[in-house]
Structure 1
Amino acid sequence: MVREVITYPNPILRKKSKDVEVFDQKLHTLLDDMNDTMKQHGGVGLAAIQIGIDLNVLIINIPLDKEGSEDDGKQLDENLIEAINPVITHKDGELVFTEGCLSIPGFHAEVTRAENIIVEYFDRQGQKQTMEANDFLAIAWQHEMEHLSGHVFIENLSFLKRKKFEKEWKRYLKENSKK
């Protein structure tokens, strides 16, 4: 089921998510709904808090083909990452990338993040997993995990860029409230 994506500046996005303790059908339904919602909105990642659920749950699906190269934005089910209670255990390098966010539609900005990370998390069955990620996948992990701690990517912008964003965002909200 497709759920509503909460948009900035809704205070729910500021909530710190809680660890999942029970791996049951309710969690599986949440993961399935998150995937439906992410696909519907054309995202590559989604944190549960973005649909109003304050649990440490995120999904990522980078559009790649079976050989690992970009595939015209098509997301393959076998590339879906479902992560419960994720923790970054290592990060190094630095990469600047232009990011967007389903909770801040229509806005993109350059953000600096770690280029390489190692993440530990649980899958939907409660099995512990470890993943090494680099480049765009590492960026997606860090972006979604920021949501779990109550932050959005615009908080990484410089003071001047943040002020510019706030001005543009107010204009965007005003224009879209008339529709």
Structure 2
Amino acid sequence: MIKEVITYPTPPSVEYATDVRLFNEELFSLIDDLKESINENGMDGLAAYQIGSYFNVVVIKKEDGSFLELINPRLISTNGKITTIESTAYFAGLTAEVTRYDNISIVYQDRESKQQYLKAEGAFAVLLQRKIDYTFGATFLSKLSKSEKAIFEKKLEYGSNIAIPESCPTTFRRDYLVKLSNILMITIALTLVVSLFISTQETLLGMWKYQLYTSYAVVGVNIVYFFYAQYEGKKYTSCTSCQIGNIIGTTFLALVKLTLLMLLSYFLVNPL
């Protein structure tokens, strides 16, 4: 019989699964229900927990269309890490970046109650871990990093996997580069003003060299600003276009100011 798969925000009807003790028709009927529900919903697997059963049973649909029946599955060894984009039936239409074990070994019982052993890796290992999580009353939400969990909670709030409202912050780290560029240009301007009261050629030459090297630093800072600002701006997709215009404008204006300062310095400070 096809069963309804529980989805968010409906809470599961049981807190966690309990191990199967009796291998009887009730168990076999549950396994058949899981298979029919998997086929009906086009899924790759189901835990009995997902249809409201308290039995510790997981059924996986293989690539060839056959089914793997896992009764009382347990992870006994793990190795390596893998980060993938996962989706799950409970949070329909939503995905999250989840880090899990890349290689696992599990023990389980078949429908004859015989102990079985299975090794899995990659995508198959990820699928098994996700389904076994359900037997403990958990979803992949418990596996998310702090930052990824915050993103996923926004997805839940707005019911969308991609349209997450966000706003551009008013300050960025790149603003420190703009301040540094401005400070360097102020020192060039001050040197220019002071040079008007200097008459010795040696001193003027030293001041000119200082301005020249400082101008190189200003150009370098603005190059770093231009590329870093674009990298930082990509974090806020809702205002990327306006940021790109601002970045180009800020860089262009800084270089225009620098050019004017250096032209004045060339004629007023440069003793050569």
TM-score in terms of structure 2 length? 0.56
Q: Which has the larger radius of gyration?
A: 2
Structure 2 residue corresponding to 1:108, chosen from 95, 114, 128? 95
Mean alpha-carbon deviation: is it higher for 159-168 or for 39-48?
A: 159-168
- How many pairs are equivalent? 160
Asked whether the 8 Å contact 2:2–2:36 carries over to 1, the reply is: yes
Q: How does 1:44-83 map to 2 (within 5 A)?
A: 44-62=44-62, 64-65=63-64, 76-77=65-66, 80-83=67-70
Structure 1 residue corresponding to 2:140, chosen from 153, 156, 165? 153
Aligned to 2:17: 17
- One-letter amino acid matched to 1:59: V
Aligned to 2:256: none
Q: Secondary structure at the match of 2:53?
A: coil
Q: Secondary structure at the match of 2:137?
A: coil
Aligned to 1:95: 82
Asked whether the 8 Å contact 1:48–1:56 carries over to 2, the reply is: yes
Query: When you count strand as a share of all residues, which structure comes out higher?
Result: 1
User: Taking structure 1 as reference, are residues 96 and 14 closer, same or farther at Cα in structure 2, changes over 3 Å only?
Assistant: farther
Deviation of the 1:91 alpha carbon: 0.7
Q: What are the superposed Cα offsets for residues 121-165 of structure 1, whole Å, 9 maximum, x if unpaired?
A: 001121111111111111111100100011101222223322332
The reply on whether 1:130 has 2:117 as its aligned counterpart is: yes
Larger RCO (CA under 8 A, 6+ residues apart): 1
State, as a whole percentage, how many aligned pairs show the same letter. Answer: 34
Aligned to 1:4: 4
Identify unmatched segments of 5+ residues in structure 2: 161-272
Aligned to 2:149: 162
- One-letter amino acid matched to 1:26: E
Q: Secondary structure at the match of 1:137?
A: helix
Q: Secondary structure at the match of 1:164?
A: helix
Aligned to 1:32: 32
Q: Secondary structure at the match of 2:16?
A: coil
1:135 and 1:161 mapped to 2: Cα distance? 21
